[in-house]
Amino acid sequence: MPRAVGSEAGNWGLAYWVGQRLRRGVDALEDETEFLRGRIRTSTPSERSSWLWRASFGTGLVIAEYYFLYRVLDRRDSAVALGVSWAILFLLPKPIPRLVLVAARSLAFVTAIAVLSAALDAIAGVIPEIRPWSAVLWFAAMAALLMWTLSSLRIRSRGVATSQVVPPSPVTVSVGIPKVRFEHVGGSSEAKREIDVVAGNRFRRGGHGIVRNGVLLYGPQGTGKNLLAEATAGEFNANFHHVRCPELVSMGIGSTAGEIRRVFEMAAQKRPVVLFLDEVDSIGSRKQPQGVGTDAGGGGREYNAVTTQLMQSIDRYRSLDGLLIMAATNSLDGLDPTLIRDGRFDLKLRLDLPNRAEREAILTSMLKTGAHAAPTIAEIARRTPGWSPARLRALIDRAILQAGGRPVTDEDLLAALEESGGKDRPQVESVSWDDVVLPGPVLSDIKAILRLLVPGIAQQLGVPPPTGLVLVGQPGTGKTLAARLIASQANRSFYAITPSDVLSDAVGGSVRRLTDVFARAREHAPSILFFDEMDALFPSASGYGSHHDVQLLEQALIEVSELRSEHQVFLIGTTNDLSRIDPRILRGGRFSEKIEIGLPDNDGYRRLLEMNFGPTQLASDLTTPKLVEMVLGLSPAEITAVVTAAKRFALARTPEHATALLPIEKKDVEQAIARVR
């Protein structure tokens, strides 16, 4: 029995062919929908506003054309109708939104077919012999024009080398031609000059066959690598194609390499363009060794394939005119040496933290007006050593917000500078003047130092503040409490450093920790570094010393010596015996000030006893002067311990069901003193 056409099993037959076409059509619509969603997610506000303007303007032109053809003109087969319909196609803003393009081509199709019909009828009336061929010519022209009209509905190319429709990845951000130029980037004059040479080879004529491409920017975070790359595109009127390399990495084998190829292919279609690979170390790290005893396949092989694909893509596209490859990383050592050799990245620039002159140029560029006095900008530049351009930008933003919409003044900038920093205050409790009992001369010295720690006062009075202060005294005299008092009253970031915070069993670990502590103090300046029992960290060299102790001390000497007044880092240390500390760290310019905290005077003892006893009742014969005579020679810490022990002895005499402690007697205090001593 013969089988019906299309009923065959398998992958052939009419039904299968129709089903395949329908399935591919549905898949294409799904891909197109996903593509449009991706465009909406990744498009910038300027891109969306540009599309809205083109769609509105194009729609208005098409509506006006329709009104003219069907309301003003009597016939659509006239030369005027044909000229208007085709002229509108050239007047529509490019790129034309798809629905607007379909409507415009449809009107052009109608007028063209109408004019063609009238023309063929006129010719056939003169030459009757061609009438049989006029119908064939008409159908051929109509089919061609219809296909041309419907082609505006086709799925547009995504710029990939495969037949598969791939939506644009959100890791790629194209912002068109940036408005930022080299003149908007303060400082980095040498870097801009060298970039201009390489970029000119790609964007200007006259290279004489020489290809120089690839600019690698590296250095600390926040130094303006991204801004300089964007300014390069703006300087040469090129599109800026920003690629977030960490988001290119995919779990699928080969997917990351495919994303790299797609990124370069898309950039090549947008020339002139600056292709900027941000955080390139995520896809260009050093290759893993392959061979016996290593990860010869799997993750290691895929890891190396990604780096290899990046190198091959650079080799393939670097010679294209109008395409400049730029990349940025914080870690140059993490990149594969083969990737960053000459011939791939011909220019490698390190962007360091700006010096004082560069900070002035950066601030002047950020403020963009001449309303700010040069002395104010110079003062801010002087007081911001080690600040990155990103941190300077945050300072300007703070001043703008504080201005509340009015023009930013010099006072706003200085106020923002005063309020930035000094907020990182771990492990510190607020201490007031009433919480401490110190001798009068010590209080006077602390108040004088606190006065100099106020920003700007030292320069105004011409009295430089000390770099470091050592509080010396026997145990329990309140050295640590005095240091916390200074930190609280100075309103600075406070870092209490103990040996356990710095010492490490790893080789070089202690030195690295100490360096990090000083770096954090400078970053969150104004700040205070407090070294409690500093003789344990910087002991005096008596006899044989370990190599670890020598390294730690030498690093501390270097870090302290590099501190300047503009860093606004104040050092405080405590010790029971100065002779146990290495004398080099106690010299002038380091811990130059020493204040000895002795035992309290009679008034101090009275205050200590009143603070510790509080509302506790005392026996009638136990007066405050008599208590002062009993505790003479004790340190504040010992007095606190004596009062606590005396209360405990009084508690032993108090009945179990009593609601109040019996008055403390003289014998309770005597027993407590004997117990503590």
Q: pLDDT tens for residues 597-636?
A: 888 888 888 888 888 888 887 877 787 788 888 888 888 8
Are both 592 and 479 inside the same structural domain?
A: yes
Predicted confidence (pLDDT) per residue in 85-131, tens digit: 888 888 888 778 878 888 888 888 888 888 878 777 777 777 777 76
Q: Give the pLDDT of residue 365.
A: 83
Confidence of residue 11 (pLDDT cuts 50, 70, 90): very low
Q: Residue 409: inside a domain, yes or no?
A: yes
Are both 471 and 502 inside the same structural domain?
A: yes
Q: Give the pLDDT of residue 431.
A: 77
Are both 213 and 146 inside the same structural domain?
A: no
Predicted confidence (pLDDT) per residue in 349-385, tens digit: 998 888 888 888 888 888 875 567 778 888 888 878 7
Predicted confidence (pLDDT) per residue in 154-200, tens digit: 655 443 333 333 444 445 566 688 888 998 888 788 999 999 999 99
- The full length of the chain comes to 677
Give the tokens for residue 624. 């405050």
Are both 148 and 183 inside the same structural domain?
A: no
Are both 552 and 616 inside the same structural domain?
A: no
Q: Give the pLDDT of residue 453.
A: 80
Q: Does the structure show a pLDDT above 50 at 18?
A: yes
Q: Give the pLDDT of residue 291.
A: 58
Q: Which residues of 621-640 are buried (b: 16+ CB within 10 A; e: fewer)?
A: ebeeeebbebbeebbbbbbb
Pick the residue with more confidence: 23 or 556? 556
**How many folded domains does the chain comprise?**
5
Q: What angle separates helix 374-382 from helix 356-367, to the nearest 10 degrees?
A: 130
Q: Residue 229: inside a domain, yes or no?
A: yes
Confidence of residue 475 (pLDDT cuts 50, 70, 90): confident
* Mean pLDDT of the region 576-595: 85
Q: Which residues of 417-440 are buried (b: 16+ CB within 10 A; e: fewer)?
A: beebbbeebeebeebeeeebbbbe
Are both 192 and 246 inside the same structural domain?
A: yes
Q: Residue 14: inside a domain, yes or no?
A: no
98 alpha-carbon distance from chain centroid: 38
Q: Give the pLDDT of residue 315.
A: 93
Q: Give the pLDDT of residue 506.
A: 67
In CATH, what number is assigned to the domain containing residue 188? 3.40.50.300
Q: Residue 114: inside a domain, yes or no?
A: yes
Q: Give the pLDDT of residue 185.
A: 86
Residues 516, 530: Cα–Cα separation, whole Å: 15
Q: Give the pLDDT of residue 624.
A: 78
Q: Give the pLDDT of residue 314.
A: 93
Q: Does the structure show a pLDDT above 90 at 346?
A: yes
Are both 617 and 584 inside the same structural domain?
A: no
- C-alpha distances (whole Å) from 59 to each of 62, 90, 108, 253, 432 are 5, 14, 15, 46, 72
Average pLDDT, the chain: 79
Phi, psi of 202 (to 5 degrees): -95, -30
Query: Which of 561, 596, 631 represents a domain boundary (last residue)?
Result: 596
Domain assignment of residue 51, given as a range: 43-153
Q: Does the structure show a pLDDT above 80 at 206?
A: no
Residues 6+ apart with CB under 8 A from 668: 646, 647, 649, 650
Q: Give the pLDDT of residue 162.
A: 33
Query: Which of 331, 350, 369 represents a domain boundary (last residue)?
Result: 350
Residues 219, 354: Cα–Cα separation, whole Å: 11
- What DSSP character marks residue 579? G
Q: Residue 16: inside a domain, yes or no?
A: no
Q: Residue 636: inside a domain, yes or no?
A: yes
Are both 589 and 451 inside the same structural domain?
A: yes
291 alpha-carbon distance from chain centroid: 39
Predicted confidence (pLDDT) per residue in 518-556, tens digit: 888 887 778 888 888 888 888 887 655 567 778 888 888
Predicted confidence (pLDDT) per residue in 280-290, tens digit: 998 888 877 76
For residue 280, list its beta bridge partners: none
Are both 206 and 330 inside the same structural domain?
A: yes
Q: 0.85 exceeded by the pTM? A: no
Q: Residue 242: inside a domain, yes or no?
A: yes
Are both 337 and 380 inside the same structural domain?
A: no
Task: Give the Cβ contact number of residue 237 at 10 Å.
Answer: 11
Residues 612, 644: Cα–Cα separation, whole Å: 8
Q: Where are the alpha helices (DSSP H) in 181-238?
A: 189-203, 225-235
Strands 239-244 and 172-174: antiparallel
- C-alpha distances (whole Å) from 226 to each of 175, 185, 278, 330, 496 are 13, 11, 8, 12, 36
Predicted confidence (pLDDT) per residue in 322-339, tens digit: 999 999 998 888 888 999
In CATH, what number is assigned to the domain containing residue 379? 1.10.8.60
Q: Give the pLDDT of residue 240.
A: 93
Are both 242 and 336 inside the same structural domain?
A: yes
Among 14-18, 469-473, 552-556, the range scoring the smallest mean pLDDT is: 14-18
Residue from 448, 475, 671 nearest 574 by CA? 475
Whether the CB-CB separation of 169 and 245 falls below 8 Å is answered with: no
Query: Which of 303, 329, 350 represents a domain boundary (last residue)?
Result: 350
Among 118-127, 303-312, 639-648, the range scoring the smallest mean pLDDT is: 118-127
Q: Give the pLDDT of residue 7.
A: 40
Q: Residue 443: inside a domain, yes or no?
A: yes
Whether the CB-CB separation of 528 and 487 falls below 8 Å is answered with: yes
Place of tokens 């170390």: 281
| Element at 520 (helix H, strand E) | helix 509-523
Are both 519 and 393 inside the same structural domain?
A: no
Place of tokens 């344990």: 536
Among 23-27, 492-496, 662-666, 671-675, the range scoring the smallest mean pLDDT is: 23-27
